[in-house]
Amino acid sequence: DGVAWIPQSLARQDIEVKTIVTAAEKESNLWVPIEIRLYRPAKRMPPDAEEL
Determine the pLDDT at residue 19.
94
Q: What is the pLDDT of residues 1-52, one digit of tens each?
A: 788 888 889 999 999 999 999 888 888 888 888 888 888 888 998 999 888 7
What pLDDT shows up at residue 20? 93
pLDDT of residue 41: 84
User: What is the residue extent of each domain of the chain?
Assistant: 1-52
CA–CA gap between residue 44 and residue 51 (Å, rounded): 11
HSE of 48, CA atoms in CB hemisphere, 13 A: 0
pLDDT at 49: 84
For residue 36, the model assigns a pLDDT of 86
Give residue 22's Cα distance to chain centre: 13
pLDDT value at residue 34: 84
